[in-house]
Amino acid sequence: MTNGCGAPAQGGSIDVSTTETVLEGKVLSEGTPVGGAFVRLLDSTGEFTAEVVTSPEGDFRFFAAPGSWTVRALHRTGNGQADVSASGPGVHAVEIAVA
Amino acid sequence: MSRENVLVSAAWSEENLQTPGVVFAEVDEDTTAYDGGHIPGAVKIDWKNDLQDPVRRDFVDREGFEKLLSAKGISNDDTVILYGGNNNWFAAYAYWYFKLYGHQNVKLLDGGRKKWELDGRPLDKEEVTRPATSYQAQEQDLSIRAFRDEVVEAIGNKNLVDVRSPDEFSGKLLAPAHLPQEQAQRGGHIPSAVNVPWSKAANEDGTFKSDEELRELYAEAGFDGSRKTIAYCRIGERSSHTWFALRELLGHEDVKNYDGSWTEYGSLIGVPIELGSGKES
């Protein structure tokens, strides 16, 4: 059966193949993880690419490609964004502060 | 078609949670969000378990749809307000599906769960049960559903609107960037398709853009209003969102959603596939 396009559970650990470029991290508000935030992955031109909702621990994860990206978080308590540059395959960490 | 007939705001919804004859339904592929807190009084529809055939790749049939709506306590006369996560993708899919089986009084909550949450509106965990009904569905309205042969025939003469992200359209990615990239089918797009990502029809908070912005968006992409249209994505839910924008908001008459979408087309033997941006350089 074909699965839908909904996002898998965020957080936890995954096995990343040698070809995958993963961007992952946490959304924080004054250092405290923010669950239920909407995190949008924007490409180098600012174009929307994907969106996930953070886990209760504030985690998010995208399967992207090498290049420059922006991750932008929306939450009822505030918004924020951060840039991340993925030089090649592997896991690239990034944190977003919302205020 | 006017916007008020097909879309309701979060503010209107909050004021009408108790209105008789109005039923709210949350639709998602992953229903843990509903279980963790839903719009008060909303019933849950599980995109995978309730709307898809458990064996074949197809929808539940007419009888199955009747059983589902009867069990959820939805009657033929109710106005159903659909909402969900993922910017209403699955809710838009369900909207299309309700129309397919002839339910006329159905609307989308503009912005879905995201807008509701960003507004800080109430959610609760109360179990929702409604008295069962005897729902009667119609035969599928195939004027809004496209199948593969029709899609192949449409190359070069209908608007084919590919609503996936540019990287999926070009063949660089096989799925949206929040999913692992492990699908087996070929990458690329249907020749002559224009790429208008579903997300361009939505604001950051998940609400639809204005009619004027939407008209401009599709015109700029080369959408020809005099031609018939087929929208597709990977499995048919993001394209339901665009189908909604083109047919229900902008009023284009002959618009079909191809629910087989890329996971079917990209696996067919011998059909033409185009790679790259599709634009002549």
In the predicted model, is pLDDT for residue B278 greater than 90? no
What's residue B174's pLDDT? Answer: 81
**Do B238 and A7 count as a contact with CB atoms less than 8 A apart?**
no
Give the architecture-level CATH label for domain A21-97. Sandwich (2.60)
Query: In this predicted structure, what is the pLDDT of residue B279?
Result: 58
Give the model's confidence band at B179: pLDDT under 50 very low, under 70 low, under 90 confident, else very high.
Answer: confident
Cβ-contact B206, A35 below 8 angstroms: no
User: Which one from B108, B137, B174, B233 is the annotated catalytic residue?
Assistant: B233
Class of CATH domain B143-265? alpha beta
B36 to chain A, minimum CA–CA distance in Å? 11
Per residue in A60-86, pLDDT tens? 999 888 999 999 999 999 999 999 999
Active site residue B233: yes
Please answer whether residues A84 and A95 qualify as being in contact, where contact means their C-beta atoms are separated by less than 8 angstroms. Answer: no
CATH placement of domain B3-140:
3.40.250.10
pLDDT at B64: 96
Give A37-59 pLDDT, tens digit per residue.
999 999 888 888 889 999 999 99
Domain boundaries, chain A: 21-97
Strand-pair category, A67-75 with A59-64: unpaired
Flag whether residue B179 sits within 8 Å of chain A, measured between CB atoms.
yes
pLDDT of residue A49: 87
pLDDT at B280: 45
Q: Which residues of B touch A40 (CB under 8 A)?
A: 204
Three-class SS of residue B232? strand
pTM: 0.92
How far does Cα B33 stand from its chain's mean position? 18
- Measure CB to CB from residue A4 to each of B29, B165, B204 and give the nearest one: B29
Give the separation between CA B249 and CA B245, rounded to whole angstroms: 5
Of B48, B114, B166, the CB nearest to A4: B48
Cβ–Cβ gap B235/A5 under 8 Å: yes
Per residue in B12-54, pLDDT (tens digit) is: 999 999 999 999 999 998 888 899 999 999 999 999 899 999 8
DSSP strand pairing (A78-86 vs A67-75): antiparallel
**Can you tell me the mean pLDDT for B80-97?**
96
Partner A contacted by B123 (CB < 8 A): no
Secondary structure (DSSP) of B14-46: HHTTT-TTEEEEEEESSTHHHHT-BSTT-EEEE
Please state whether beta strands B159-162 and B229-232 pair in parallel, antiparallel, or not at all (unpaired): parallel
Q: For the CA atoms of chain A, what is the radius of gyration?
A: 13
What integer best gives the mean pLDDT of chain B? 93
Does B1 score more than 90 pLDDT? no
More confident call, B278 vs A73:
A73
**Confidence band (pLDDT; 50, 70, 90) for A15?**
confident
| CATH 3.40.250.10 residue ranges for chain B | 3-140, 143-265
